[in-house]
Structure 1
Amino acid sequence: MSAAFCAVPALLVPMSPAAAQTAITHNFNIPSQPLARALRMLADQSGVQIAYKTSIAANTRAPSVTGGMTTQAALARLLSNSGLGYSFTGGNAVTLLAMSAEPAGGESADGAILLDPVIVEAKGTAAIQQDGLAKDGYRTNTISSLGPLGQTSIRDTPFSVSVVPRELIQNIQAQSPDDIFRISPTTRIQTPQASGWSPMVNMRGFTTYDTAEDGLRRSYSHATNLEDKERIEVLTGLSGFLYGAAAPAGMINYVYKRPTIERLNSLTIGTYGAEQKYIHGDFGGRIDPEGRAGYRLNIVKQGGDTAIDDQNINRFLVSGAIDWDITDRLKLELNASYSKYKTDVPNSYWFFNPGVPHGSAPDASRNWSQPWVRDEFEKTRLSGKLTYKLNDFITLRGAYMREYLDRPVQDHTMNSVRSPGEYYQIGIHSGKTKNIFDAAQAFADVTFDTGPISHKVTAGYHMYSDRAWQTPYSPNTGWIGPFPMSSPVHLPRPTFPVDTSSPYYQGYVRNHNFVIGDQIEFNERWSALVGVNYSRIMSRSLDITGTRTQPDYDEGRLSPSASLLFKPVPWMTVYGSYIEGLEQGGVAPDTSSNYGQVMAPMVSKQKEIGVKAEVGGILLTGALFDIEKAYEFTNASGVYTQDGRQRHRGVEVTATGKVTDELTLLGGVTVLDAKVEGGEFDGKQPMNVAKVLAKLYLEYEIPAIQGLVLTGGVYYTGKQWANDVNDDRLAAYTTLDVGMRYTTERFGNPLTLRLNVSNVTNKNYWQNSYYLGAPRTVAFSAQMKF
């Protein structure tokens, strides 16, 4: 979508009231260098967001700018003799203009200059908050945290990354990661949050619990809330160099909301579906008149029945953030949150005996568990980040996060299908457990030139750990049944013995990483990223007596990464990359005879060739990839083991942005060729891997009715094998979403009404071999900003 700006006769444009924040004096130290690099330094040192078309800054050298002055004065000096002007377009944003008589994008009938699509050269909170807005078709330019590399341009990233930004999260009324994974072009739900377990996602045919929060790693994340998140960033494929030990599927990074420069007061009431009524308040602003300190506060209360019989979700969240520019060079970021998340009747887990086909899926809106089953989490999270610009060439960054996870109640059911048309069930009632998660990082960024070649070297350390306390109390109903799959059978709650036990220390998992990487810029067309991560995995498993249940786990290795990027034209990037990763071996599931055993560490490898291009208002990405890792499965003897290699080759294509001023598109296609090479299942296809994943989400703004937007999505998942021997295949399925939103200021303040219907046809389907897909859900909300 083209952007219109008034033509100006001179370089300097009078500062509007909206740009008052940029009048703050900063101590600039920008040496003479190519203009594009100088603008990046100005963005870093002032926090302002600068948007421009790359070609207008090409082959131009900027003069040095040093000393205390306003951002406006510094920008004016940088652009002197460049033939460029600028226009402030917000309190912390500025757009560069070509001052030539023939503007690059043409001229409108009223004489306004029409610029070509712009890119954003900026860093910091303001850039992220203004990136990926609905008016821009949710097209994002930056990723907030690419492991140790920090904030990075998406087009300059030699990996497959995508972003679900704040306004898209709001507009689809996402309550849990399930809603994000449903709409994101490259992801598929593996384990739903409503199961009571940590959400698991499938990407490129591999599955993972691995997540990060503001770039700080953790192994999994139960009961995830989204109302305090600015965006969800999705990296598909290996992330070993970037995030340390992790599955080859990729990484999900949850980015928390930061304080706002302008006052923010937002109140939303509605339902996330069925009777799940909720209220959400989002507040932000400055603490001091100068804007050096700011706050953000999110509060949520939700309760009520879901679209599944007897299922009820009751949760509470309070989440706060404070940012403080202690000096022009030292910034402190603090976060704290507390949440309680209770689920009555979590989704039941299904497994089928060998030779028994899944067949048609039963009614997903029925309670296939028991009415007395419930699950509860209580989480407290604290984190802090400190960034210090030692000088204009060295930046030091440090961060630490701790989360306390208490689980006072955890009931679950498993359904075993031993013959077609009937199932057995076991109900498990477990005692209290808890976990303490820690994550930390310390990095130094050093920029320098070697002749005409620019370098940004990042070196440092990051880690995460999970300490667990388990319970010896876990009575169950034993296997009961059989029951018909035509209708669930509910029984009274059994009388379980009184829990007199206390949680015992079960052990830990730790991952330590030492990393160094170099982002190399040869010239305006060629660049590279090279690096290596030494990753070490350590774990210990204890029983109630403190005795080791297996030998301690302590394995480490180097994981290299190398990428080359080429820009044949300013709006396109072509890249090739190679990356390796270390992954802790899987843990034998409770359906295997060696339950709890940890497998040997696995080394994964990925080769990828990709392209990223901005065409009109759309960001297009494409990638060819080849990934391999050890194959893990439960063999015919019921033992969970490793045997052979799992290899996935495929192509991945995504598109995000504005097709026209009225039409927004978000979609993608992944086509996979997945095989097991060697071992017992040589030549077979891995289970729960769909050959084709295709998604399309659209928004259309009705020209005749200002503020009215129609929305809809179609999501296709191809056939999957439901077991390792490939004799039970799940049918392909397609689900549809429809919705609308209407924004008006007739009541004095912006009011947005949203209506979304997911799985509008109420289709029943097997999401994978273990879980049913979600039934039809109708969500409605009203949001007022004041």
Structure 2
Amino acid sequence: MSFDSRRPSTVCWRRLAARGGLAAALGCALGVSLPAFAQQPAAQPGAARSYTIPAGPLGPALMRFASEAGVNLVLDPQLVDGRTSPGVQGSLSVAQGFSLLLQGSGLESVPSGNGGYVLVERSAQSGSLDTLTVIGTRFVAGNDRLVPEYAGGQVASGGRLGVLGQQQAFDVPFNITSYTAKRVEDRQAKTLGDVLKSDASVQVGSGYGNYAESFRIRGFTLSGDDVSFGGLYGVLPRQVVVPNAIERVEVLKGASAFLNGVPPGGSGVGGSINLEPKRAGDEPLLRTTLGYATDGYGEAAVDAGRRFGDDNQFGARINLLRGSGGSPVSGDDDERSSSFALALDYRGERLRSSLDVGYQKQVYQGTRRGIYLGGELTQMPQAPSPRTNYTPSWAYSEVETTYGMWRGEYDFAPNWTGYLALGGNDTEEYGVYSSPTVNNLAGDATVGRMDVPFEAKSFASQAGVRGSFDTGAVSHSVNLGYSGVLRRSYSAYRMTSNSDTNIFDPVDVPAPTDYYDFPGGDMDDPNLRNRVRANGVSLSDTLSMFDDKLRLLAGVRYQELTVRNYSYEGAPENAFDESAYTPVYGIVYQPWETVSFYANYVQALQQGPTVPSSEGYPNAGQVLGTVRSKQHEAGVKFDYGRIGGGISLFQIEQPNASGDGEVYALNGEQKNRGLELSVFGEPLVGWRVLGGVTFLDTELSGTTDGANDGNDAIGVPKYQANLGSEWDLSGVEGLTLTGDVVRTGSQYADDGNQYRLEPWTRLDLGVRYATRLAGSPVTWRAGIENVTNNGYWESVGESGYVTQGMPRLFKLSMSVDL
């Protein structure tokens, strides 16, 4: 395409109206500038915004960027005539976007002093744009630099795949969704679960009797303790993670033993979650946020970061948060949250390094937990009023974690990089737990008390080398890596007798003190109860051919798993040492630039269960080896620049333990078959979508005496649908309406399929307003969760622990960039 400077009002209008929108067309019609109409709120010079502009002719690319950024660009059409742009993708400031679009053109954008820019030829004194490097915006597959955001800014274009590093989702044979810090902030998320409630493949539930968050991905449990940080297990705080210092929440859907190794908690058969920390951006940031939620919960946070050095090679970012108050559940009036996170990084030409240290403390007093189901129940009782609190007011939990991680990578030769990571945490916890056991449909229940001191210490490491080379027409990307985690946990317990209550009309029973005479261990100095060491070495090769239209992945991992269990008195109980090889195969075929077909075979490894001693089996107390689950998956992904999505079909087979009358062994199986549909992006400027649907068919086989053969597995819904949308109102600059709908199908709370949880629907609505006060950017956010105040049983854990959904919740926050 060429530009005719003699006829800007006809040529530019005709050729740019479709490419750059109305503002671009008017800019060309005037022949001098592109005005910022109300298509987008004007971007602040240092503020980052998500852009996806493909490579192509320079003129339309500049016009489209200026239109989306909401800035004036004055140019002479003869300057861009015949020139091309490499395009941009990711979260960029206005200056960064112009710099990348103009690379190699010999041109530069110069601020005009009124918030606009003028396009001029780069003078000899200012240097060549061919050598310009905007650090932090280029993405190279495999390293630690984050994948760019997708159009709309709610999700990224990929994420970390364990030892394979950060990868574009479109180019790999796996299904990964990465939620951005923008999504976290706009949802006013207090916990990791608040972020993931909008994912159709993920269910958010509670730990067994405690205050932990747990997750189900593709119908299989992922413990909150098995969430990774920067690709390392055993680093993040235990039970609940506050996401204020998190840049990405990455969900890998499917088994991942080859990519991630074995998590210390032994969960994650259906998928994994990885969190990436925030880093200092190229523009200084000082943001303060104040928030309020019903009933009386207040929160204050600070997010500050900047870069230093001649080339901005040094970065520092700090996040602080303090919150306290109650919730809309009756009597739940004492929740406290404190967190601190410091992120330091260095990014040089060949060496890149980062250090993250943090502290988090969570306190819960009288916060509602779930229920147990008594043996006398004949069916699932109705859910009480959503505000009813059947957890005693003296129930309590305090969890305190200090954690840290260092990562580094060095380019020791062209196309070859070595990497190393170390991390760990130290956790102290004390809980006074109490959840009612419901015995009939009238809600009559008993409630007791269990005190549990708990400590855990973890250390994780990762090392390897990756590189690329060609053999004829085939390109190879190889990776040789090691990853491991060591975790020691210490605990004790004591229990009391039960008191009567009712979940529909609860009695706040006095805190019992009649502890039984058989305490489990030393309450003041808990003994070592469990030690897990998981080490593995992996080797993989991704072959690319036919101009990268076809990619084949093959790899193998050698995994060692060592487990030592001890009694509450510290005496050895049982030991487990095994090793296994686990393969991975994958294929990606991209017949067109916008479509990617893929398939994979991958496994999950975990420690097997311990044979119960109460059943009288001759192998009582034995650990049943390594459980090897298998996944087959195939699908197609779509990427049209501003809107993307995918369709996935999968089957996961997990061996289950059961008795056959003579011995207790891995005789059974849980098989989950599923279909996933997803969509995300900004199909029209100002309208963003994020959602999906998952259909699941689960079946048990080989159960004890065949009693539950053919039944559904516990806690696996028939379907789950999530749809979120944002709409920037064209009549009011900076005003955005938001909405999310979640629909979850029926599920069972027992293997016998006697206790059925009914389907439920939740509607969340919100509004966001971005403006300026006294020259500073300000964003107001208001939201209502569970608008209809629907009462429902939300989820159920593997042991039949049922969690109720939260009542209507109002949230309000204000963020100011100083």
- TM tier relative to shorter chain: 0.7 to 0.9
**Aligned residue runs from structure 1 range 167-246, under 5 A:** 167-191=182-206, 196-209=210-223, 210-218=226-234, 221-245=238-262, 246=267
Could you tell me how far apart the structure 2 residues matched to 1:420 and 1:184 are? 32
Deviation at residue 380 of structure 1 after TM alignment: 0.4
Could you tell me how far apart the structure 2 residues matched to 1:641 and 1:673 are? 25
C-alpha distance 616-695 of structure 1, shift in aligned 2 (>3 A): same
Q: Which residue matches 2:627? A: 602
C-alpha distance 306-165 of structure 1, shift in aligned 2 (>3 A): same
- Kindly indicate whether residue 590 of structure 2 is the aligned counterpart of residue 567 of structure 1: yes
TM-score by length of structure 2 reads 0.79
Could you tell me how far apart the structure 1 residues matched to 2:104 and 2:407 are? 41
Q: Which residue matches 2:6? A: none
Deviation at residue 491 of structure 1 after TM alignment: 1.5
Q: 1:626 aligns with which of 651, 665, 690?
A: 651
Letter in 2 for 1:537: L
C-alpha distance 364-537 of structure 1, shift in aligned 2 (>3 A): farther
Could you tell me how far apart the structure 2 residues matched to 1:573 and 1:97 are? 30
Q: 1:142 aligns with which of 158, 173, 180?
A: 158
Q: Which residue matches 2:699? A: 675
Q: Which residue matches 1:428? A: 449
Secondary structure of the residue aligned to 2:439 is strand
Q: Which residue matches 1:781? A: 813
Could you tell me how far apart the structure 1 residues matched to 2:695 and 2:144 are? 34
Secondary structure of the residue aligned to 2:436 is strand
Letter in 1 for 2:230: D
- Kindly indicate whether residue 526 of structure 2 is the aligned counterpart of residue 526 of structure 1: no
Q: Which residue matches 1:439? A: 460
TM-score by length of structure 1 reads 0.82
C-alpha distance 427-56 of structure 1, shift in aligned 2 (>3 A): farther
**Per-residue displacement from partner, 1:309-340 (whole Å, max 9, x unpaired)?**
22221011110010123x52112200110111
8 Å CA contact 1:198, 1:222 repeated in 2: yes
Deviation at residue 642 of structure 1 after TM alignment: 4.8
**Per-residue displacement from partner, 1:649-676 (whole Å, max 9, x unpaired)?**
1110100011321221110001111111
C-alpha distance 590-713 of structure 1, shift in aligned 2 (>3 A): farther
Deviation at residue 598 of structure 1 after TM alignment: 5.1
C-alpha distance 641-667 of structure 1, shift in aligned 2 (>3 A): farther
8 Å CA contact 1:273, 1:780 repeated in 2: no
Q: Which residue matches 2:12? A: none
Q: Which residue matches 1:536? A: 560
Q: Which residue matches 2:488? A: 467
Secondary structure of the residue aligned to 1:490 is coil
Q: Which residue matches 1:740? A: 767
Could you tell me how far apart the structure 1 residues matched to 2:449 and 2:398 are? 14
Deviation at residue 544 of structure 1 after TM alignment: 4.3
- Kindly indicate whether residue 780 of structure 2 is the aligned counterpart of residue 760 of structure 1: no
Could you tell me how far apart the structure 1 residues matched to 2:680 and 2:398 are? 37
Letter in 2 for 1:776: R
Q: Which residue matches 1:363? A: 385
8 Å CA contact 1:700, 1:711 repeated in 2: yes
Could you tell me how far apart the structure 1 residues matched to 2:727 and 2:52 are? 26
- Kindly indicate whether residue 688 of structure 2 is the aligned counterpart of residue 664 of structure 1: yes
Deviation at residue 289 of structure 1 after TM alignment: 4.2
Structure 2 unmatched runs, 5+: 1-17, 29-42, 59-81, 106-118, 120-136, 797-801
- Kindly indicate whether residue 474 of structure 2 is the aligned counterpart of residue 453 of structure 1: yes
Letter in 2 for 1:177: L
Could you tell me how far apart the structure 2 residues matched to 1:600 and 1:663 are? 51
Q: Which residue matches 1:316? A: 338
Could you tell me how far apart the structure 2 residues matched to 1:433 and 1:626 are? 37
Could you tell me how far apart the structure 1 residues matched to 2:171 and 2:494 are? 54
**Sequence identity (%):** 26
- Kindly indicate whether residue 636 of structure 2 is the aligned counterpart of residue 611 of structure 1: yes
8 Å CA contact 1:248, 1:581 repeated in 2: yes
Q: 1:397 aligns with which of 419, 429, 433?
A: 419
Q: 1:515 aligns with which of 522, 538, 551?
A: 538
Q: How many residues align?
A: 699
Could you tell me how far apart the structure 1 residues matched to 2:415 and 2:317 are? 31
Single out whichever of 560-569 and 763-772 deviates more from structure 2: 763-772
Letter in 2 for 1:208: L
**Per-residue displacement from partner, 1:732-771 (whole Å, max 9, x unpaired)?**
0011101101010143111000011111111111113421
Could you tell me how far apart the structure 1 residues matched to 2:385 and 2:622 are? 35
C-alpha distance 531-335 of structure 1, shift in aligned 2 (>3 A): same
Q: Which residue matches 1:688? A: 715
**Aligned residue runs from structure 1 range 51-450, under 5 A:** 53=54, 84-86=84-86, 90=93, 92-93=96-97, 95=100, 122-123=139-140, 131-132=148-149, 136-143=152-159, 145-191=160-206, 196-209=210-223, 210-218=226-234, 221-245=238-262, 246-311=267-332, 312-325=334-347, 327-354=348-375, 355-407=377-429, 409-450=430-471
Could you tell me how far apart the structure 2 residues matched to 1:627 and 1:430 are? 37
8 Å CA contact 2:388, 2:504 repeated in 1: no
8 Å CA contact 2:53, 2:641 repeated in 1: no
**Per-residue displacement from partner, 1:441-472 (whole Å, max 9, x unpaired)?**
0010021111111111000210112111112x
Q: CA RMSD in A?
A: 3.6
Could you tell me how far apart the structure 2 residues matched to 1:709 and 1:487 are? 41
